[in-house]
Amino acid sequence: MSALRPDSLPGWSLETLHPDYAQALKIDELLYDSETEHQRIRVFTNATFGRVMTLDGVVQVTERDNFIYHEMLTHVPILAHGDVRRVLIIGGGDGGMAREVLRHRRIEQVVMVEIDAGVIDFSRRYLPMISDGAFDDPRLEVVIADGAEFIRTTAGDFDVIIVDSTDPIGPGEVLFTESFYGHAARALSERGVLVTQNGVPFLQGDELTGTMRAFRALFSDWTCYLATVPSYAGGPMAFGWGTNGNARAVPPAELRRRFEASGIEPLYYTPEVHAAAFVLPGYVARLIPGAGDD
């Protein structure tokens, strides 16, 4: 007899992203809990992770471990590309992705397309340490819109596009479609790089396979890279990577030179971690259709 999954645990935030696997974070103090037209937003404090935001019950960002996710989705494509001037962030309402992108002084413009103004508003108020002033940077342009709509009509020419969305449920679902990826590929500059939040392959392997199948049709270089984010339960998280340029071939010495010239001081990213992140264990490599065939 299958035990019924509890849909709540008094005093805890119970994440029910998966049908038969859940993580629970103790709520020391509930700071915010409200529905917007798109999703339910909660912010609470937890002794281990600090302030935590969930959207529709799924952990989105925590004060203590967000640096891993935000550093790996920004510094990897930016330093690999080597001359990024314009960046597009789809989602990213907590401001953490913009925070890390804006550390690169040669970047001239960051456009952030977020569907839910409520996420930005309360992130500025309850999670200011995540954006850390990014929303006040004159290089940042915030657009409140569905990323799938925006990408269809933008003139593009972005050197890096970062999909920092929720999981493919609710408003985030459209950001995992072939149509979205096709428009995103068109919106890239010639050597531009598209990177995506692609879930935890041990639990969400189908999502990664679907994204990689779409990338294989769009890009000459497609793969994923990994980093383990403690609050994204289930093992290493995959980041989709697609480009028609040669950013992944940058020699280690050149990557190290670019990193040192950037002046950034990350807590997780190093040029060596960057290179190693693309080395995939067998169970992840097998989720990527045709990788290594060509």
Residues serving a catalytic function are: 164
> Is residue 30 within a helix (H) or strand (E), and if so which, with residue range?
strand 29-35
Strands (E) across 133-247 are located at 140-144, 158-164, 188-197, 221-227, 237-243
Q: Return the structure tokens found at 77.
A: 């494509």
Q: How far is the CB of 227 from ligand SAM (least distance, A)?
A: 11
Closest to ligand SAM by CB, 100 vs 116, is 116
Q: How far is the CB of 83 from ligand SAM (least distance, A)?
A: 27
| The only residue of 56, 65, 100, 116 in contact with ligand SAM, by rule CB under 6 A | 116
Footprint of ligand SAM on 118-177 (CB under 6 A)? 119, 146-148, 164-167, 171-172, 174-175
| Phi (first) and psi of residue 285, to 5 degrees | -60, -35
Closest to ligand SAM by CB, 166 vs 244, is 166
> Is residue 151 within a helix (H) or strand (E), and if so which, with residue range?
helix 147-153
212 neighbors 288 (Cβ within 8 angstroms) = yes
Q: How far is the CB of 59 from ligand SAM (least distance, A)?
A: 8
Q: Return the structure tokens found at 145.
A: 């819109």
| The only residue of 17, 87, 91, 159 in contact with ligand SAM, by rule CB under 6 A | 91
Q: How far is the CB of 118 from ligand SAM (least distance, A)?
A: 8
| The only residue of 43, 78, 84, 90 in contact with ligand SAM, by rule CB under 6 A | 90
Distance between CA atoms of residues 107 and 167, nearest Å: 28
* 114 binds ligand SAM, rule: CB under 6 A: yes
| Angle in degrees, CA 51, 64, 98, rounded to 5 | 90
- In the complex, the residues that contact ligand SAM under the rule CB under 6 A are 55, 60-61, 69, 90-94, 113-116, 119, 146-148, 164-167, 171-172, 174-175, 197
